Structure 1
Amino acid sequence: MNRVILAVVVIAISYTSKASSKLDDHQWLIEFIEKNEIVPIRNEPKLLDAQYELGQALFFEKLLSTNKDTACSTCHLVNSHTSDSLRKAIGAGGHNLGALRIAGKDTEPLDRNTQALFNLDNNEVKNLFWDGRVEVDLQGPIKFLTPLGKHIPLGLENALAAQSLIPIISNSELKSHTCYLVGREQNYCKKLYESFESVNESIWNLAYLSFIQHRLIGHSDNKDLSSIQKKYRKLFKLAYPNKSNFTASDLANALARYQEIAFATRDTPWDKFLKGSESISDTEAEGARLFYGKYRCNNCHSNTLFSDFDFHSIGIVSHKKDKSIDKGRFEITGNLKDFLKFRTPSLRNVTLTAPYMHDGSIESLEQAIGKHFTGCALENDYYEVCIETVFKYKEIIQPNEVLKLIAFLKFLEDKSHIIDDDIVPFTVPSGLGIDDLIPASANKIK
C-alpha cells in the first residue's frame, strides 16, 4: 500500500514539475517581452495606389532586362516566397523557373544566393545585399551609398528604391553581356555597348539606365511612341500626376512602393501574440526562450525584423564563379575586420526560403542552426583568417532544442503574399510572359 501511495506522489510531483516548467517558459517570455519592450512590426497600410500599380507592372516586366528575358520576379518568385529555391541565382539568359532554372548560353549562376524581399522598407533596414553595397548615409551629401556612386539619380525615396536600380545595371542579373535583340533596337543596343563599356563604370550605368527608360516610355518630346511606351507613360502619369518628365528615380520609387506593400509581413502569429490576439504553444514558447535566453540569438537577430543589419561571419568560406574567395563585406569596405562577414538576414519567413547563407550552401534550417555551433572548417585554406572574425557558440546545441527553435521561427511566418490575388498581375504592358510559379489563371485580371 505504501509503495502505491509513493508511486502516486512521485507521478504527481513529476506532472506538477512539468506543468510548472511549461508555465515558467510562458511567464519568462512574457516578462522578457515587457522588460525589453518588444513590439509587433509596424507596416504601411495596404494601399494599392497608382504608384503600386506601376511598380507591380515593372516588377514583372522583362523589358527591364537587356534581352527582354528576365524580370525582377524571375529570381524573386512570389510563390517561392520572393526567392528562387536555388543555391545561387541565375539571372539574364537563364531558362525555366525556381529550382528547375538553369543557366543559358554564355551565362552562369551569380555569386550569391537570392535574398527574400520581406519588409525591406522598414526603418530598421540600414543596408541591402549580402555585402551591404547599398546603405543609408544620412551624414553624406547623398542619402545612399550605392555602386552608382556620386552619379546616383536624385529623388530616391528610400534605400529600397536605391537598391531597385542595382539589379538593372548588374551584369548577369537583368543586364546581359551581349545584345540579342532584333532590328533597330539591336543596332542601337550594340552601339550603346560599344560606345560606353570602356568608359567609367558609373557613366556607363547611367547610359544603360537611360536605354531601359527610353524602352519603357520613350523621350518626352517624342510623339512617335509605341503602344507599349504609351501604356507605360499612362501608368507613370497616374503614379506621378504632378510630373511631366520622368526619371530613373521614378521607376525605382515605384518598384520600391510595390515591394514594400506586397511583401510586408502583417499577419504572423508572433505579431498577433504580441498584440494579445493569439496564444503561443508550449513548444513555441520553449523555442522563444532558447532564442532570447539560453542562446541569445537576438544579439544579431534583433529588433522587429530579427536582424541587426550588421555583418558577421559564422565560418562559411565560398568561391565566386571566377574561383576567387567571396570576401563579403570586405569587398565594400577594404577593412580586414570585415573579411568573410555578411549581412545578418531577417528571420521573418526564414522557414520558407531555403537554401540558406550567402552562397546557398546550407539546405535546411536544422543545418543552418547547427552551423552557428561548428565555426570554421579546419581543412579550409583560410582557416587562420576565418577564426579571427568568426562567431561560434562554445557549447553544442541539442537536437530537441533545434526543433524547438524551428517551432518558434515558424511562429514568424506570414504567407499572405501567396494568398492575396492583388500581388501577381495577369499581364504587363509589354505582353511578355509573367515569371511566377502561380498559374496566370489564378490571378485577378487587372
Structure 2
Amino acid sequence: MYLALKRSKRFLLFMPAAVLILSCSGVPMNAWQWSLPPGVDVPEVPADNPMSAAKVVLGERLFFDNQLTANQAMSCSSCHHRSKSFSEGLSFTVGSTGEKNRRNSATLVNLAFNRSFTWGNAELEHLEEQIVIPLFGTEPLEMGATGREQEILQRFKADQTYRDLFASAFPGERDAINFINIVKALASYLRSLNSFNSAYDRFRYFGDSNALNESELRGFALFNSDKTRCSRCHSGVNLNEPIDTQRLAAEDTFHNTGLYSFDVARKFDDGLFEITQRADDHGKFKTPTLRNIEVTSPYMHDGSINSLEEIIDFYAAGGRLIERGWKAGDGRAHPNKSSDITGFVISAEEKRDLIAFLKSLTDREFISVN
C-alpha cells in the first residue's frame, strides 16, 4: 500500500486512482539470485514486490519499449543509456512531447541500495513510487500515460510475447497486464542493475591490492582526507551517503553545495525545500553516486558542470561565484551551504591523482553495450 501513503506536494498530483492501491496477489515462484561482493548485504525489497527472474526479464523488455509511452515516441531507455551508466548525457532531459525537464536524468546504477531516488524529494523511499512519476507525471510531462492507460495496456495485451511474460512474472493473476504490475516489473529490473566490478571494487571488496595504481591510490587517500572532505558526503556502498551512517535518514543524503546563491535557487530550482517547505532545506539536492562518474557528465542536478576537472575546481573554491547572466550570484554565501564545503588548495598533480581515483570507479563491463 506504500504508493498511497506518500503525500509530498508533487507526488500525489501525478498518480491516477488506478495506481493508488497495490495488488497483493501473484507471488512469483522463480527466485532472484543477487550477485554481490563480500561485505555487501542484500538490499531490502518491498514485501509486496519480491524479486524474481521473470519480473526482471519483463521489466527489461518494458524499459526498452516505446510502447510504454503514450505517443510511442520514446522509452525509459531514451533518457537512460547503458553506455552512460543509464544516465543521458544532457543537462536537461526532454519528455515524449518535447517538454523540457529542469533537471537531468541521473544514473540508475545500484538503485537497490539507495535511500531515496530523485534529485529533490526525500519522501520517495521505494523505486515503485519513483517510477510512477515519469509514467504519469504532467509537470513536466515525460511518458504521458495519464488518461491513456487503457490504450497503452491494449498494446501489450495484443502481443503474445507480452502475454506470456506477464503470466510468467505474475502467475495466478487473471488480468496480469496492468500498470501495477508494469511498475513492479520495472522496479525489479532497476534493482537488478548492480555495478560492482570497477578497479575500486576489486581493491575495496575483493582484496586485490594491485587493482589501483599509484596515482589512483594517492587520489583515494586525497578523497578520504580532511583536506578535500570528499568522503564526508560520498561514502557507503554507492559513495552517496555521509560518512557517519548511524541512524541515517533519507534527508541526510541531501546537501546544499553552494552551486547557486539563495535568490537564484529560489527562482530556478530550490530542491528539497519545494517538498518540505523547511527553511533549512533551501537549495538542497540529493548527493549522487560517484559510481561510473567518468561517463555520467554533465554533473549536478542541472548539468551545469561539464567535467571532472571543473567539479574539483568547484569544490576547491568552496562553491561557485557566477558573475554574469540571470544566474549571477555567490553560491558560496548561501546560508544553507554544507559545513563540509570549505574549499581547499590543490596542486595540478593532486588533481590528476584525484581524477584517476574517480575514474577507477568505472565498471567497464556494466556500461558496455550488449
With normalisation by structure 2, the TM-score equals 0.74
Q: What are the equivalent positions in structure 2 for 1:395-410 lying under 5 Å apart?
A: 395-410=344-359
Match of 1:360 in 2: 303
Instruction: Provide the secondary structure at the position in 2 that maps to 1:317.
Output: coil
Q: Are 2:232 and 1:283 equivalent residues in the alignment?
A: no
Give the conservation status (yes or no) of the 8 Å contact 1:64–1:212: no
CA RMSD of aligned residues (A): 2.9
Give the conservation status (yes or no) of the 8 Å contact 2:82–2:369: no
Q: CA deviation at 1:43?
A: 6.3
Give the conservation status (yes or no) of the 8 Å contact 1:301–1:347: yes
Match 1:342 to one of 274, 285, 291: 285
Q: What are the equivalent positions in structure 2 for 1:21-420 lying under 5 Å apart?
A: 41=40, 49-93=53-97, 107-122=98-113, 125-132=114-121, 134-136=123-125, 159-171=126-138, 172-176=140-144, 208=147, 210-211=149-150, 214-218=153-157, 226=158, 228=159, 230-246=160-176, 247-261=178-192, 263-274=193-204, 275-279=206-210, 280-294=212-226, 295-308=228-241, 310-317=253-260, 324-374=267-317, 375-377=319-321, 379=323, 383=330, 387-391=334-338, 392-419=341-368
Rounded Cα–Cα distance in structure 2 between residues aligned with 1:254 and 1:367:
38
Q: CA deviation at 1:278?
A: 4.8
Mark the runs of 5 or more structure 2 residues left unpaired by the alignment.
Answer: 1-36, 44-50, 242-249
Rounded Cα–Cα distance in structure 2 between residues aligned with 1:232 and 1:216:
9
Amino acid at match of 2:290: L
Rounded Cα–Cα distance in structure 2 between residues aligned with 1:336 and 1:209:
39
Residues 87-128 of structure 1, C-alpha deviation per residue, up to 9 Å, x if partnerless? Answer: 1112213xxxxxxxxxxxxx3421011100000011xx1111
The range that moved more, 249-258 or 388-397, is 388-397
Rg bigger for which structure?
Answer: 1
Indicate how the Cα distance of structure 1 residues 292 and 240 shifts in structure 2: closer, same or farther if over 3 A, else same: same
Amino acid at match of 1:117: L
How many residues are matched?
303
Q: CA deviation at 1:366?
A: 0.9
Give the conservation status (yes or no) of the 8 Å contact 1:286–1:404: yes
Q: Give the number of the structure whose residues are more often helix, by fraction.
A: 1
Rounded Cα–Cα distance in structure 2 between residues aligned with 1:48 and 1:111:
35
Instruction: Provide the secondary structure at the position in 2 that maps to 1:348.
Output: coil
Indicate how the Cα distance of structure 1 residues 318 and 237 shifts in structure 2: closer, same or farther if over 3 A, else same: farther
Rounded Cα–Cα distance in structure 2 between residues aligned with 1:65 and 1:72:
8
Give the conservation status (yes or no) of the 8 Å contact 1:41–1:305: no
Mark the runs of 5 or more structure 1 residues left unpaired by the alignment.
Answer: 1-37, 94-106, 137-158, 177-204, 219-225, 422-446
Instruction: Provide the secondary structure at the position in 1 that maps to 2:124.
Output: strand
Amino acid at match of 2:174: S
Rounded Cα–Cα distance in structure 2 between residues aligned with 1:166 and 1:365:
30
Amino acid at match of 1:174: E
Residues 146-193 of structure 1, C-alpha deviation per residue, up to 9 Å, x if partnerless? Answer: xxxxxxxxxxxxx122212211112355334xxxxxxxxxxxxxxxxx
With normalisation by structure 1, the TM-score equals 0.62
Query: Taking every aligned residue pair, what percent have the same amino acid on both sides?
Result: 30
Amino acid at match of 2:304: S
Indicate how the Cα distance of structure 1 residues 362 and 394 shifts in structure 2: closer, same or farther if over 3 A, else same: closer
Q: CA deviation at 1:272?
A: 1.2
Residues 231-257 of structure 1, C-alpha deviation per residue, up to 9 Å, x if partnerless? Answer: 322211011113223343321121122
Instruction: Provide the secondary structure at the position in 2 that maps to 1:237.
Output: helix
